[in-house]
């Protein structure tokens, strides 16, 4: 299975605090049944000095080498969780780190918690799609300001997919997110699921979360959320992606 949203790179954001923690996260993900991870640190992030692609590349190389050294059968991809920040479009080379195959790449976009930025987000979605990127919107169930109608419109327009947090259905992010994720699933607006892990505990609990998801949604749906659709993004076949 593939985890497309994970803060596993060391000392770069509010995720892993060291290379040792990153390796422990890698081992916990493997034990949870994940063998492929897309590293997605916040970009440009929330600190005063914006994070740039070159720093992500540095930490990615560092962790990749350590994973190889330890002989862990975990495939690591480099990407980012892009904030809604005008900087992204001002300097694409520094602040956009897509994943997938050239010409068919995908971007993970963090949805703001409130709806105040809705128009800005719509404009940004349009510009990023114009640049040729397939967009994946992270955890819409945690941003109640964005209506199902608004999300549905974007999905219907194409090249735009929704990633739910695997743990939302079990209530990890509270009752509102739990109700909301159920609505997204019932309205066929869930395309991908991820751990969004920030520490070892989250990675270690991912196995149990996946088992609970299978019980609730069935094996076939979980395969789509954690294997088939992530694989389609990585191989430039996003046209094959359908919701559960
Ligand atoms: Fe995240």
Q: What is the pLDDT of residues 37-91, one digit of tens each?
A: 999 999 998 777 899 999 999 999 999 999 999 999 999 999 999 988 888 999 9
Closest by Cα among 110, 111, 76, 81 to 96? 81
Most confident region among 45-49, 111-115, 208-212 by mean pLDDT: 208-212
Residue 179 has pLDDT above 80, yes or no: yes
Confidence grade of residue 108 (pLDDT, cut at 50, 70, 90):
very high
Q: What local confidence, expressed as pLDDT, does residue 134 receive?
A: 98
**Cα 7 to averaged position of ligand 1 atoms, centre (Å):** 6
115 confidence band (pLDDT: 50, 70, 90): low
Question: What separation in Å is there between the alpha carbon of 198 and the centre of ligand 1?
Answer: 8
The alpha carbon of 199 and the centre of ligand 1 are apart by a number of angstroms equal to 11
How far is ligand 1, taken at its centre, from the CA of residue 45, in Å? Answer: 11
Q: What is the whole-number distance in angstroms between the Cα of residue 108 and the centre of ligand 1?
A: 9
> How large is the average pLDDT for residues 162-185?
97
Confidence check: pLDDT of 216 > 90: yes
Q: Among 45-54, 110-119, 217-226, which range has the highest average pLDDT?
A: 217-226
Distance 188 CA to ligand 1 centre (A): 22
Task: State the CATH number of the domain containing residue 104.
Answer: 3.20.20.140
d(CA 40, CA 108): 8
Q: Distance from the CA of 207 to the center of ligand 1, in angstroms?
A: 18
Structure-model confidence comparison of residues 73 and 125, the more confident one:
73
Q: C-alpha 201: how far from its chain's center?
A: 18
**Residue numbers of the domain that contains 17:** 2-240
> E strands along 25-172, which residues?
36-39, 42-43, 75-78, 81-82, 106-110, 134-138, 160-165
Cα(55) to ligand 1 centroid in Å equals 17
CA of 165 to the centre of ligand 1 (A): 9
Interval between CA 17 and ligand 1 midpoint (Å): 15
pLDDT at 17: 97
* Ligand 1 centroid distance, CA of 81 (Å): 6
Contacts 24+ apart (CB under 8 A), 125-129: 125/154, 125/160, 127/89, 128/89, 129/159, 129/160
* pLDDT on residue 240: 97
Residue 114's pLDDT is what? 67
Q: How many domains does the chain have?
A: 1
Q: How far is the CA of 153 from the centre of ligand 1 (A)?
A: 24
The residue-averaged pLDDT of 117-132 equals 88
Question: Closest Cα partner for 181 from 150, 144, 224?
Answer: 144
CA of 170 to the centre of ligand 1 (A): 18
The answer to pTM > 0.95 is: yes
How far does residue 220's CA lie from ligand 1's centre (Å)? 25
CA of 56 to the centre of ligand 1 (A): 15
């Amino acid at each position: 299975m593939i985890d497309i949203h994970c803060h596993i790179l060391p000392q770069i954001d509010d995720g892993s605090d060291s290379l040792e923690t990153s390796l422990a996260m890698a081992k916990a993900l493997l034990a949870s049944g994940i063998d492929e991870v897309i590293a997605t640190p916040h970009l440009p992030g929330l600190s005063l000095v914006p994070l740039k692609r070159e720093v992500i590349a540095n930490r990615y190389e560092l962790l990749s080498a350590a994973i190889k050294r330890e002989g862990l059968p975990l495939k690591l991809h480099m990407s980012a969780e892009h904030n809604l920040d005008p900087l992204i479009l001002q300097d694409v080379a520094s602040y956009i780190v897509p994943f997938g195959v050239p010409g068919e790449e995908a971007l993970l976009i963090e949805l703001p918690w409130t709806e105040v930025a809705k128009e800005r987000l719509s404009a940004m979605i349009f510009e990023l799609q114009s640049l040729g990127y397939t967009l994946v919107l992270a955890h819409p169930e945690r941003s109640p300001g964005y209506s199902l109608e608004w999300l549905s419109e974007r999905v219907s327009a194409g090249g735009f997919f929704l990633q739910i947090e695997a743990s939302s259905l079990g209530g990890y992010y509270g009752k509102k997110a739990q109700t909301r994720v159920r609505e997204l699933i019932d309205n066929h607006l869930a395309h991908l699921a991820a751990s969004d892990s920030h520490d070892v505990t989250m990675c270690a609990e991912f196995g149990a979360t996946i088992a609970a998801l299978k019980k609730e949604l069935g094996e076939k749906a979980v395969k789509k959320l954690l294997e088939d659709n992530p694989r389609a993004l990585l191989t430039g076949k996003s046209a094959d992606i359908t919701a559960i």
